[in-house]
Amino acid sequence: MSNPSDTFAQEAEELLQSLEQSLLELEGAPGNATLVDAVFRALHTLKGSGDMFGFSALARFTHHFETAFDQVREGRARVSHELIAVALASRDHLAALLALGAEAVADAGIAAEGHALLARLNAVVEEQPAGAANVEARATRTWHIRFRPATNALRNGFRPDLLLAELAELGRLDWSCSDELVPAIEDLDASDCWLVWEMTLETSGSREAIDDVFLFLQDGEIDITAADEAPAEAETGDEPVTADKVEPQLETSAGPAAPKSDSVRVQSHRLDELMDQLGELVIAQARLRRISDELGDTTLGETAEEIERLVTGLRDATLSIRMLPISLVFGKFRRVVRDLSEELGKPAQLVTEGDETEVDKNVIDSLTEPLVHLIRNAIDHGIETPETRAAAGKPAAARVTLRARQAGGEVLISVTDNGGGLDADAIRRRAIERKLIAATDDLSEEALYQLIFEPGFSTAKALSSVSGRGVGMDAVRRVIEDLRGTVEVRSRTGIGTEVTLRLPLTLAIIDGLLVRVGEGSFVLPLASVEECVELPEDEEARQSGRSILRIRDQLVPFVALDTQFGFPPSDRKRRRVAIVSVEGRRVGLVVDDVLGQHQTVVKPLSAYHRGIEGLAGGTILGDGSVALILEVATLVRRAQSAPRIAA
C-alpha cells in the first residue's frame, strides 16, 4: 500500500465524484431512497476515513453535512432544488478541504465559507415541515422471508442467532424454523445445517436493508417477498428474489454509487512506463526482423516471426489496459450543464450515449477541456432563450447530447444540441470582417461552418462570462489535432448543431504507412490512408501547387510532398499517390515510393522541433534511422491554401 493519505485522497476524490453524481440524479428523482442512501453512504465513508487519515476539518464538515442529510434520509426533509444546490456547493467545499491536504488548518476564508454553507444547509432541511417528506414514504411493509442456509454455513461461521437479531433490529420479526430436511440421525453430521427458516418481518426499512442482512449468505436459498401490494416499489420490490438473482448485489455492497469494478488499481505512470518499454520492444523487434531477413537463416527467421507475433499480442493487450470508458469524462459534464443552464437561464438537460465506449487514457485526459468548451458553446450560443424556443414551438428544456462510439480505429465523440443551429450568414459576415475569406468567395454552408474553428473567430455578440474567455473553437481544434484527431461540424437552422470529434483509439503506437520522399522516410497514419495509386505520367510534369487526379470517376485533388517540403524536385518516374481522407474529403499525397506498413512507435519531437506544422512526431525504424510522422490534416489544409493553378 502506498502512502495511506494519498490512498485516502484518491478514494475521497472518487467519493466526491459519486456524491456529485448521486446528488444530480437525486434532483431528477427526489423520491429515490436508493440515491438518498448513496449520498448518505458517500458522506459516511468520507467522514470515517477522513478522520482516520488526519483530514479532520473535512471530517468535521462532512459530519455536519451528513447530519443535515440524515433529515432527508429519515423523511423529515424534502429533496428540493435549493437543497441540491447547497449540497453541491458543500460538495465543492469538501473538495477544497481535501485539496488542502492532511493535517492542514483551513484559513479563515474557507472556514467562514464552511460555516455559511452549513447554516444554509440546516436552514434548507429545517424549513421543511415535518411530514412533508416526499422521499419514498417509509411506511411499514410486511415481508415474507424464506431462508435456507448452505449446508456448510454453520461450520463456516454463520450464526443464526445473530442473523435473527439483525433482522429484529429492522422491525417486528416473527419466525419459525422447519427441520423437515434434517436427515435421519445416523446420516447426520452435526455440524451441517439443514434447517429452513420462515420469517415475517414488518419493517419501515428498505429492501436493501434486508438484503444487507443476508449479504454473506448468498450461497444459501433466500426468498424475500413483500406481502402487500405496495405501488411504490412495485417494479422491483415485489419480485421474489432467488439466490442467483441476488448474486450480482454482492458487488454493489460496497455502496450503490461506487463503480462496480473487478479491477486492480495501477498508477498511471506505471502504465506509461510499460508502454515505453513496449515501444522499445517493438523497435528492437523490427531490428531483429531486419537482421534475420539479411542473414536469411531459417531458424532465426522463424524465431523472429514468432517474436513478432508475440510482440503484436503484447501490444494489443497493453493497449487494452490503457483503455478507459468514456463515461469517466461524460460523468463530469452533468454538473457543467446544470450550472450553466442555471447561470444562463436556459433549461437544458444532458443526455449521454455510448458511455461504455473505451478510449486511451491519455486521450481521455485531454478530452475534458475541449468537451467543456463545446458544451458551453452549445448552451451559450446554440440553445435559444426559453422565449425563442416557445415561439418556435420547441420544448422549453433544451437537450445537449454527448455521444461516443467506436468506428474502426477511431472513436467518434459528438456534442449535439437541439438549439437554433449555426447562422451561416453571420459566420460569413464575420469571416469577411476578419479577413478569413474574401467577400467574393463562394463557399458552401459546410465550408462556412468549418470557419468557426479558425483562430480569432467568434460571432457571439456579447462575450458572456461563460464562453468567449479567449479560447475559441480554434483551441478545441488544436487540442484534437494534437491528439491526431479531426473536428467536424454539421448544423441545421432551427434544428440544432452537432460537433463531431474523430480521435484515434490510441496515441502511443499506431499503424503507419511508411513512404519515401526524396532522401527521407515518412510515416502516414494508416487510419487516414484510404488507398495508394500510381501517379499517371501526364501528371508527372506538374511540379507545384494543387492539381486534380481522376480516380474511378472521382476527382481527387493532390499535392506533391517534395514540393510541400521544399525538397529538390524528384526525378523519379512512376511515383505513387497515397489517398488520404481528411474531414470527409479525399486528398492525394504524392510520394516517391510506398515502402509498406509499419508498426509505428510514436516518439515526441524535441521541444525545438515541436512547433513545426504538419509533423506529429518521429519514430525509429528497424535499421535505426528516424522517420517523421506526418500530420495529414494540417498538410492538407496547408496544401489547400496554396495558390491554385488553372487546370
Partner 1 sequence: MTKTILTVDDSRSIRDMIAFALEPQGYRVVKAEDGKDGLAKARAERPDMIVTDLNMPVMNGIEMIRELRADASFNGLPIVMLTTEAQKEKMLEGKQAGATGWIVKPFDEAKITGVVAKLLG
Q: Which of 108, 184, 185, 264 binds partner 1 (CB under 8 A)?
A: 264
Return the number of the residue (11 or 423) whose C-beta is nearest partner 1.
11
Which position has the grid cell 461516443?
A: 404
Q: Which is nearer to partner 1, 4 or 101 (CB)?
A: 4
Locate 507 and state its grid cell: 496515441
Contact string (CB under 8 A) for partner 1, positions 217-256, x = contact: --x---------------------------x--xx-xx--
At residue 402, the 3 state secondary structure works out as strand
The residue to which cell 411530514 is assigned: 131
Which CB contacts under 8 angstroms, 24+ apart, belong to 564-573? 564/614, 564/635, 564/638, 564/639, 565/517, 565/518, 567/517, 567/518, 568/518, 569/543, 570/517, 570/518, 573/537, 573/540
Q: Work out the widest C-alpha separation in the chain, in whole angstroms.
A: 104
- Report the residue from 44, 141, 207, 373 that binds partner 1 according to the rule CB under 8 A: 44
CB of 525 to partner 1, least distance (A): 36
191 lies in the site for partner 1, by CB under 8 A: yes
- Site size toward partner 1, by CB under 8 A: 36
Q: Is 619 helix (H, G, I), strand (E, B) or coil?
A: strand
State which of positions 198-217 bind partner 1 (CB under 8 A).
Answer: 215-216
Asked if 266 is part of the footprint of partner 1 (rule: CB under 8 A), the reply reads no
Q: Which residues pair with 352 in a beta bridge?
A: 402
- 48 sits near partner 1 (criterion: CB under 8 A): yes
Return d(Cα 119, Cα 541) in angstroms, integer: 80
Site for partner 1 in 55-84 (CB under 8 A): none
Contacting residue, 18, 49, 377, 418, with partner 1 by CB under 8 A: 49
Find the shortest distance in angstroms from Cβ 203 to partner 1.
17
Taking the complex as a whole, the smallest distance from the CB of residue 492 to partner 1 amounts, in Å, to: 46
Per the CB < 8 A criterion, the answer to whether 328 and 364 are in contact is yes
Residue 187 or 262 with smaller CB distance to partner 1 = 262
- Residue from 4, 183, 395, 455 that binds partner 1 (CB under 8 A)? 4
- Residues numbered 126 to 185 that lie near partner 1 (CB under 8 A) are 152, 154-159, 161-162, 165-166
Tell me how far apart the alpha carbons of residues 191 and 153 are, in angstroms, rounded to a whole number: 9
The answer to the question of residue 263 lying near partner 1 (CB under 8 A) is yes
Distance separating alpha carbons of residues 280 and 601, to the nearest angstrom: 8
| Least distance (Å) between residue 193 CB and partner 1 | 11
Q: Per rule CB under 8 A, is residue 5 in the interface with partner 1?
A: no
Q: How far is the CB of 562 from partner 1 (least distance, A)?
A: 55
Per DSSP bridges, beta strands 593-601 and 509-517 are antiparallel
From residue 149, give the alpha-carbon distance in Å to each of 133, 196, 215, 222, 476: 38, 7, 12, 8, 59
> Rule CB under 8 A: is residue 597 a binding residue for partner 1?
no
Q: Which strands, in side-by-side order, build the sheet including 398-407?
A: 348-353, 398-407, 410-417, 496-504, 486-492
Task: Kindly indicate which of the ranges 42-50, 80-88, 292-300, 529-537 contains the residues binding partner 1, using the contact rule CB under 8 A.
Answer: 42-50
Closer residue to partner 1 (CB): 166 or 539? 166
For residue 56, the surrounding DSSP H or E stretch is helix 56-73
User: Smaller CB distance to partner 1: residue 152 or 625?
Assistant: 152
Instruction: HSE, CB side, 13 Å, CA atoms: give it for residue 463.
Output: 7
Binding site for partner 1 (CB under 8 A): 1, 4, 7, 11, 44-45, 48-49, 51-52, 152, 154-159, 161-162, 165-166, 191, 215-216, 219, 247, 250-251, 253-254, 260-265
